Amino acid sequence: MMSLKTELLPHQNQATEKMFPTRIGALFMEMGTGKTRTAIELIAKRQGKISNVIWFCPVSLKETIRAEILKHTDCKDEDIYLFNHKTNQRNMPDVSWYIIGIESMSASARLKLAANSIINDKSMVIVDESSYIKGHRAARTCWITDISARARYRLILTGTPISQGIVDLFAQMRFLSPKILGYNSFYAFAANHLEYSERYKGLIVRAHNTEHIAAKIKPYVYQVTKDECLNLPSKLYESRYFEMTREQREWYDYAKNKFLSIEHEDWDSIAIFRLFTALQQIVCGFWNESIEEKGKPKRFVFHEFLHNRVDVLMDVIEHIPKDKKVIIWAKFEYDLKQISMDIEEYYGKSYTLFYGKIKEKDRPKHIEEFRQDARFFISTQSCGGHGLTLNEAHYVIFYNNAFKYSDRLQAEDRNHRIGQNNSVTYIDIICDYSIDNRIDKALYSKGSVVRQFRDEVDRIKDEKGRIDPKSKDRFRKLIKEL
């Protein structure tokens, strides 16, 4: 029998008391409130009734979940199996815990079959960060939902269940049971609760009967925020501004003009994302320019420019007390290399890197380096922004930002969670008169900069979704103002 080594906080007790009587449920607990520990408590209470636990989570969190299980229970390493590139249904170990990367369920048929082989009617299936399965037509959503249907116990965990509105709830609730909302298809759900734009295909303009949905899911959901259950220290915010060099400005304007040559009807979220990424790269000192020539394969040309962003970073660090640990979030691998090079020049090898190219088996070692001796944790938000606990840091620098508020919030809460006893200072480095200003504004309004700009573009399109000659000047002005 598995024993637990840590105690629950009062709100975690409330969560387990509500969730235990039902076989399916959702822990909508804000980041840092301990939803992993709560899920482990539910597993412990049911261990006489379940045969195994299948824990789906983002690939970047697999090692974190393993560490949490070992931290809170008396389980051993050999009781836990992490799916990897060698996993095959013919060589599956017989263990109590299986941890599977959600992204793998849309990429590997071999891993799908392996996952399918271990789920039975006595399994407990958990989907951690269930916003990863909010797309009702996504391959991984459909596969995970289908193979988990026969498991007796199903649980979802997330702090951001509806980042884009109630449309996000359908797939998450369907994973638990289609009986919760009472709809067998998304189209039936949409017909009763979503109103779409007549001009722009797929654009949701209004939600209806939301009180009905809230009432339907209430028996199966425990929801709590940090403000409601924890007495955490405050968050403090600062911004540091700089301007582009002349060379950067020339390339910045060139990139905007290049994207203006795209056919207007092709201006969708993908085109906007590519433009914003190009502009963000330029204000960070480089551009991996995509070159497309008729009759030739697409190629990339790398440009590099002198810039002031890293100098501002080093000035910020200089004013942080030398005994304080610092997290630095950056978006591009180029940023990580430049930041680490400058830090090493001034502060020695006092940092650890954490990004996609670091092997999963090596990532715990990098985290431990930061907790012990390293002063700086330099990471991409895409790799380190989910699931980690980094309360050792009281200062966080956003060298640049992701495009969505939900990603920003995830990164902020890596060190603003249970166990943090000090105020945390967040410092943004912003290139003035650039895409950085628009990103900062979108994050302040808790939105997505790509979606907000797409909505602006959609408003000047005609009924067929095109930009007519009369609107071209307005469209060009939108781009020029970036």
**Average pLDDT for residues 370-388, to the nearest whole number?**
90
Domain at 232-482, CATH class: alpha beta
101 Cβ neighbours under 8 A, 6+ residues apart:
56, 57, 58, 59, 62, 83
* Domain residue ranges in the chain: 10-229, 232-482
pTM, two decimals, is 0.77
Residue 432 sits at the vertex; the CA angle it makes with 429 and 436, to the nearest 5 degrees, is: 65
- In angstroms, what is the C-alpha Rg of the chain? 24
Model pLDDT for residues 327-362, shown as the tens digit of each residue? 999 999 999 999 999 999 999 999 999 998 988 888
Query: What is the pLDDT confidence band of residue 25, given thresholds at 50, 70 and 90?
Result: very high
Model pLDDT for residues 192-219, shown as the tens digit of each residue? 998 887 776 777 778 888 899 999 999 9
How many Å apart are CA 87 and CA 54, to the nearest integer? 14
| pLDDT of 476 | 82
- DSSP alpha helices (H): ranges in 73-138? 109-118
| pLDDT of 387 | 79
The answer, yes or no, to whether residue 375 has pLDDT greater than 90, is: yes
The answer, yes or no, to whether residue 164 has pLDDT greater than 60, is: yes
User: Given this chain, do its domains 10-229 and 232-482 carry the same CATH topology?
Assistant: yes
Q: Is 92 helix (H, G, I), strand (E, B) or coil?
A: coil
How many Å apart are CA 236 and CA 30, to the nearest integer? 19
| pLDDT of 115 | 94
The answer, yes or no, to whether residue 78 has pLDDT greater than 60, is: yes
Q: What is the dihedral of CA 19, 25, 30, 31, to 10 degrees?
A: 100
- What single letter denotes the amino acid at residue 423? S
DSSP classification of residue 320? S
The answer, yes or no, to whether residue 249 has pLDDT greater than 60, is: yes
**Average pLDDT for residues 248-277, to the nearest whole number?**
84
| pLDDT of 45 | 96
Of 100, 37, 53, 62, nearest to 364 (Cα)? 62
| pLDDT of 106 | 86
Residue 443 sits at the vertex; the CA angle it makes with 38 and 438, to the nearest 5 degrees, is: 160
Tell me yes or no: is domain 10-229 CATH 3.40.50.2300.
no
The answer, yes or no, to whether residue 264 has pLDDT greater than 60, is: no
